[in-house]
Amino acid sequence: MRIAVLDDSPDQLTLIHHSMVGLGHECHLYKEGKALLHALRRQTFDFLILDWNLPDMPGPKVVKTLRIDLKNRLPILFVTDRHNEADIVAGLNAGADDFMTRPLRPGELEARVNALLRRAYPSRDELELVFGPYHFYPPSRVLKMRGVQVELKNREYELALFLFQNLGRLLSRGHLHEAVWGLGIEALSRSLDTHISRLRTKLDLRPANGFLLLAVYGLGYRLEALDEEVLPRLMAR
């Protein structure tokens, strides 16, 4: 998962970064609310951890801007020195999903993040994922379309699964690069576009099959489900 952390304390950023990387997530650090909000206009993330007291704007204002102006629904966790009931209520009413107080306890942080991720992205650990005519089998890395296996290269499969797991979400190019190629690995812009083009062809992503893969100029891609009949079903076996 791609996680953004907003905190002006270097020590807290280091501690949270260490915990999130230890869980296998990509972690992007910000020290000012405006810098994060600017990034969110060009980038996408799966989760946000933020402090209340920031040098340029209060944490609740960041959350309200994200929810109201940017229409962003990613899970949000406050990690702050605030501990009064009124503060907790204000943080949750601003649009945050959870609230924990300092001193930061890494075990509790990891448990809360995992719980919110399970709730927000319930399909991550399923044995079979069904999206209309498309059946994914993550343990064996197999994709079948109407019962016939589709021959996909490793990164094509990873990209296809990631897009389907994030139906309806605009995913920035950087987000897709990290999800498929990994952080720190140079993935040429053309490489992503080539993989997208191949998936459109190999999976026949068109309205007749219930899906449309859209390019959003200057931002990234979004896979749309065109009717309720092709919304995902989770199959545990």
* Same domain flag for 116 and 6: yes
* Same domain flag for 85 and 171: no
* Same domain flag for 109 and 67: yes
* Same domain flag for 150 and 170: yes
* Same domain flag for 19 and 65: yes
Q: Which domain holds residue 177?
A: 128-235
Whether the pLDDT of residue 114 is over 50: the answer is yes
How confident is the model over 14-36, as pLDDT tens digits? Answer: 999 999 999 999 999 999 999 99
Q: What is the predicted pLDDT for the residue at 68?
A: 93
Whether the pLDDT of residue 129 is over 50: the answer is yes
* Same domain flag for 116 and 134: no
Select from 66, 90, 120 the last residue of a domain. 120
User: In the structure encoding, which two tokens stand for residue 87, read together?
Assistant: 């503060």
Confidence bin at 229 (pLDDT 50/70/90): low
* Same domain flag for 140 and 200: yes
d(CA 96, CA 74) in angstroms, rounded, equals 9
* Same domain flag for 59 and 41: yes
Domain count of the fold of the chain: 2
* Same domain flag for 142 and 90: no
How confident is the model over 162-214, as pLDDT tens digits? Answer: 999 999 899 999 999 988 887 655 555 678 999 999 999 999 998 888 999 99
* Same domain flag for 91 and 133: no
Q: What is the predicted pLDDT for the residue at 115?
A: 93
